[in-house]
Amino acid sequence: MSSGFLKRLGALVIQVLVAWGLATYFRQNLPAYPVGILTIFCINAILALSWNLVAGFTGQFSMGHAGFMAIGAYTSALLMMKLNWPFVPSLIAGGTLSGFAGFLIGFPSLRLVGDYLSVVTLGFQYIITAILNNTVKLTGGGLGLAGVPFKATLPVTAVTLVVTLWLITNLVHSKHGRSFVSVKEDEIAARSVGIDTTSFKIMAFVISSFFAGIGGALIGHYMMYLHPDIFNYQKTVEVISMVILGGIGSLTGSIAGALGITLLPEVFRNLATVFGSWGLVAAGAFVKKGWTVFYAVMFLLIMLTRPQGLIGRKELTWESICKTKLFRKLQKKEV
């Protein structure tokens, strides 16, 4: 092992310990509501990172992300409920089976480009939903699967997010990651210099599917209930929205987008409660049910004014924060 890898591994251990410590403190000292929001944010961030890997770094627009989430969720839940597997092996098995499904879909379909790939992956998602609805004895079908063990606590999801971010960050900054980007920027040029573009697209698709399965499994172990409708087309759109909001091709942008999409419904839900307490019942009902209008207007404005997302393809690091005008002004005032 190189010294550089050992340093990165040591940094991961420190980050995991810090994440576990902070998450445990928050879980013990904060009310259940904010702890639940933080837990959902961690899961959403994992899902956004996984989709960004295949879309932001290889340029493959997949519309079947929720299908891989469903495979991971049901696999992990059934292994624990039917075979009494421990949580961590069940979680990894759910991600692995999702990755294998990604390989089966990616091998024939990633030779397609553009809209054709989107249609194939969207069809895959509907196939998974149909299978789950019709395997009643195994998955509960339309009645859903109740009694999923609660394992996705805030410390667990926070550590999983840290590990996911570390793995994907190291991947995209490796030789393979540079090959991913070359496929996205110019596939013909990448082929001309000897890069097997199909293999790298399949690799990114499989890894993305693996982490989608991990995120889906965490959803099941947090909600303690699974239903095929949880992993519908709207869930895929939600994950895509997180990445677009933060910036396609930016890992920290995916996390920022996941935070925004997680908080947005809660902000409007609390606004509806405030309006209701003031006697503005009609306004409260509109805000509670019509917040999606603001959601659509927000994305319309982002597409018109900043189509690259809030962060773009840059990464939000301490060094980049120090270079901002706001930070420099604050430094001058202190001096």
* Angle (deg, nearest 10), helices 3-29 and 154-172: 150
Q: What is the chain's mean pLDDT, rounded? A: 87
Q: What is the DSSP letter of 63?
A: S
User: How confident is the model over 24-54, as pLDDT tens digits?
Assistant: 999 999 999 999 999 999 999 999 999 999 9
The proportion of the chain whose per-residue pLDDT surpasses 90, expressed as a percent, equals 51
Q: Which fold has domain 3-249?
A: ABC transporter involved in vitamin B12 uptake, BtuC (1.10.3470)
Q: What is the pLDDT of residues 193-237, one digit of tens each?
A: 888 888 888 899 999 999 999 999 999 999 999 999 999 988 999
Amino acid 281: pLDDT: 77
Confidence at residue 266, expressed as pLDDT on a 0 to 100 scale: 86
Instruction: Tell me the CA end-to-end span of the chain in Å, nearest whole number.
Output: 45
Q: What is the pLDDT of residue 177?
A: 86
pLDDT value, residue 185:
83
Check pLDDT > 80 for residue 325. Answer: no
Q: Do the beta carbons of residue 51 and residue 243 sit within 8 Å?
A: yes
pLDDT of residue 82: 93
Structure tokens at 242: 């997180």
- Determine how many CB atoms are found less than 10 A away from the CB of residue 40: 21
